[in-house]
Amino acid sequence: MNMKWVFGPVLVSVALIGMVAALPTILPMWQEYRPKPTVLIDRAVRAQAIDALVAEVHAHYVFPDKAEPIETLLRQRQRNGDYDAITSGEQLAKVLTDDMASVAHDLHIRVEFSADVLPAEFRPPAARPAADQGPFFMRWIDSLGRSMAAFGVGKTERLPSNIGYLELKGFFPPHLVGDKYAAAMDKLADTGALIIDLRRNGGGSPHSVALLASYFVDQRTRLNDIWSRDTGESTQFWTQDSLAGKRYGGQKKVAILVGPGTRSAGEDFAYTMQAMKRATVIGARTWGGAHPTAPFRLGDHFVGLIPNARSISPITHGNWEGAGVIPDIAVAPADAMAVAQDLLLRRETRNAATRVALPQT
């Protein structure tokens, strides 16, 4: 028998099965990078987007007193014809974003353009917090396929001198990342000190921030509040009493690496751990965005991402908006790892010397 006639159909079948299995990964990537339809941005489209944007800012922006100055600037520029020559959707979104930011000084407020027509019933997702709307990094990771992303959990290693290392690139919702946190903490629980690397953390869910912080305390602790303008109510975020992984506890030393690439929920974790005096923050000032956002449809092709809530620390009674998280030890982000290792090693050496010097009973 000619074996190629046996293996040929088998290989074709395997290839087809592989293609079908890969569709959940390939399809989002194709949708992201396929050629986009051409959209004509004329005076009517621009006017509709601006009118809708002004209305949503007045209705939802977390600081109502900023809505009027934002509208005043946008209307003045509209009357002056400053937007008339813009025929690119991406360019109009960028200009409107920059104009609003110049008044609000808010890194989260922005407009985004979609070449595809947005659903007519487009609404902010009610089933998840506004803060789960991650920035571009989170959407990019999702486009590569959830199975490839490890849901934001990067390297988990034991370094020399029994120092643990945990890299986090984002805070995906707890139902996706909870088991990943548990596995990482099981691996690192017996280390003498820990480095948590948030230098490339794009943000995500405050619920996952609370879940991870739960591993580093010995008792139930209130971590953060988020006040919503839309409801007028605050949601409190507390540590969890029951965890799937081993608790690291509240005594061993922790260093957190940060920089300009540390954003939103990544900043939340660093800020909260610093405020609790549970970690030493090392690196450079972070991005500076503390206002969760919700998306609002501004016509067929534009979305306004409007901050409709703000974080309030029960410890500092403030947040990191605009200022970012200020490191305890300021160094270039590229040097933060070496500085953290040296710091933790010196502290562990001092602790060991103290234990030896104590009288035996």
pLDDT at 6 over 60: no
Distance CA 53, CA 304 (A): 6
**Angle of CA points 331, 247, 289, to nearest 5°:** 40
**What is the CATH topology of the domain spanning 130-293+305-353?**
2-enoyl-CoA Hydratase; Chain A, domain 1 (3.90.226)
**When comparing pLDDT for 342 and 14, which is higher?**
342
Q: Are 283 and 311 within 8 A, CB to CB?
A: no
Two structure tokens written together for 347:
């502290």
Distance CA 55, CA 47 (A): 12
pLDDT at 40: 85
Q: Which residues pair with 195 in a beta bridge?
A: 165, 255
Torsion of CA 133, 91, 84, 35, to 10 degrees: -100
> What confidence tens digit (pLDDT) does each residue in 98-136 have?
999 999 999 899 999 998 888 887 665 443 333 444 444
* 284-296 mean pLDDT: 93
Backbone angles phi, psi at 196, to 5 degrees: -110, 120
Q: Are 196 and 215 within 8 A, CB to CB?
A: no
pLDDT at 14 over 50: no
Distance linking the first and last C-alpha atoms of the chain: 83
Q: Quick check: pTM over 0.85?
A: no
Two structure tokens written together for 343:
């710091």
Distance CA 170, CA 209 (A): 10
Domain parsing of the chain, residue ranges: 130-293+305-353
Distance CA 48, CA 221 (A): 47
Q: Which residues pair with 227 in a beta bridge?
A: 234, 310
pLDDT at 141: 44
Q: For 260-275, what is the HEC assignment? A: CCCCCHHHHHHHHHHH
Q: Are 135 and 203 within 8 A, CB to CB?
A: yes
Distance CA 110, CA 277 (A): 34
Distance CA 46, CA 77 (A): 12
Distance CA 263, CA 287 (A): 5
